[in-house]
């Protein structure tokens, strides 16, 4: 049967959103502002790229996708927390996210901060609780918690956000920025969580060291390509981006597209996409979803 990426993405997205809806319910408590705020952002849609990659990586190893689903959702919870905080006035000050008003514009800054904090903390509770319940070995689960903590914290995503703020200050002061500076920021702020999504799914699937190494290369390459394409689309994107296009330019942010130019940025994204695809060469048809996702992300228009 021919592989259809749109169907695969649609089917996996529904699984993820149904599971998220279930995980974010607290039957013992009334639906207060905190819960409304959490569910507003976590269930607002989006590509669900990170959990889909986690499931696809598990499948590429020959693992059980159902076993990977709860942990894949926890990575999406962490990603959503980062978006809520990233949109705050003290950070990027965005008004639109995933096609709807940002959390703080609806619920206020205090509620947005608390809901982000809750999503991050609850993610680790769910990670351990659901992981043990689904039969993931304790040692493997500890490794995954360690990896995700590293990718989300001051050695990964948070460091990338801090570098982003430093780069803004440097740019405002007329300092020189290199593509290496931008790539480092992107590889941490966006790429780290994408890479760990892939490796976490691989570990749940039972990967060996060689497989894990190749899938880490895949995740790293896809993560950086994804953000470079995002930089390009902020300038030339068409259609529904789900957020305010041109925001980087309005805020005079230093991006890959700003420094390298549109064509060079597209070329770099293409190189990274090819690197991701080549990393899958030993996995055969089981990695077809990962391969097509990489090619889709590297050439997307919105």
Find the DSSP H helices in the chain. Answer: 5-23, 33-42, 49-61, 65-86, 103-107, 109-133, 138-152, 157-172, 179-186, 192-205, 209-236, 247-250, 256-260, 262-278, 288-298
Helix/strand/coil for 170: helix
The two tokens of residue 256 are: 């890959």
Alpha carbon distance 227, 86 (integer Å): 15
Q: What is this structure's pTM?
A: 0.92
pLDDT of residue 237: 65
Domains and CATH numbers, the chain: 5-298 (1.10.600.10)
- pLDDT by residue for the chain (302 residues), tens only, comes to 689 999 999 999 999 999 999 999 876 666 689 999 999 999 998 999 999 999 999 999 999 999 999 999 999 999 999 999 999 999 888 999 988 999 999 999 999 999 999 999 999 999 999 999 999 999 999 999 999 999 999 999 999 999 988 887 776 666 677 889 899 999 999 999 999 999 999 999 999 999 999 999 999 999 999 999 999 998 886 544 555 555 554 455 678 888 889 999 999 999 999 999 999 999 999 999 999 999 999 888 76
- What pLDDT is recorded for position 1? 64
For residues 242 and 101, give the distance between their C-alpha atoms in angstroms, rounded to a whole number: 10
Residue whose C-alpha is closest to residue 34's, from 142, 108, 135: 108
Cα distance from N-terminal residue to C-terminal residue, the chain: 28
CA atoms of 264 and 186, how far apart (whole Å): 16
Quote the CA–CA distance of 213 and 230 in Å, as a whole number: 26
Contact 296, 286 (CB under 8 A): no
Phi-psi region of 206 (alpha: psi -120 to 50; beta: other; left: phi over 0): left
Exposure class string for 84-116: b at 16+ Cβ within 10 A, else e: bbbbbeeebebebbbeebbbbbebeeebbbbbb
């Amino acid at each position: 049967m021919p592989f259809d990426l749109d169907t695969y993405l649609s089917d996996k997205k529904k699984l993820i959103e149904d599971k998220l809806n279930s995980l974010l319910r607290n039957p013992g408590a009334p639906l207060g502002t905190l819960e409304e705020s959490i569910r507003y952002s976590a269930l607002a849609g989006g590509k669900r790229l990170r959990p889909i990659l986690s499931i696809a990586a598990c499948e590429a190893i020959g693992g059980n996708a159902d076993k990977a689903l709860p942990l894949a959702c926890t990575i999406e919870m962490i990603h959503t927390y980062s978006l809520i905080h990233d949109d705050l006035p003290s950070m990027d000050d965005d008004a639109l996210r995933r096609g709807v008003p940002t959390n703080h514009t609806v619920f206020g800054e205090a509620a947005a901060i608390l809901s982000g904090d809750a999503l991050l903390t609850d993610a680790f509770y769910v990670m351990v609780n659901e992981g043990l319940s689904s039969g993931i070995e304790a040692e493997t689960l500890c490794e995954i918690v360690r990896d995700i903590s590293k990718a989300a914290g001051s050695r990964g995503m948070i460091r990338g956000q801090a570098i982003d703020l430093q780069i803004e200050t440097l740019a405002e002061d007329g300092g020189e920025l290199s593509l290496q500076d931008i790539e480092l920021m992107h590889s941490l702020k966006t790429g780290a969580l994408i890479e760990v999504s892939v490796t976490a799914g691989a570990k749940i699937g039972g990967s060996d060291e060689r497989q894990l190494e190749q899938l880490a290369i895949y995740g790293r390459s896809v993560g950086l390509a994804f953000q470079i394409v995002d930089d390009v689309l902020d300038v030339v994107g068409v259609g529904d981006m789900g957020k305010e296009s041109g925001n980087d330019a309005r805020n005079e942010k230093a991006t890959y597209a700003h420094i390298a130019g549109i064509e060079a940025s597209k070329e770099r994204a293409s190189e990274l996409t090819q690197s991701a695809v080549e990393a899958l060469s030993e996995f055969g048809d089981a990695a077809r979803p990962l391969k097509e996702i990489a090619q889709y992300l590297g050439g997307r228009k919105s």
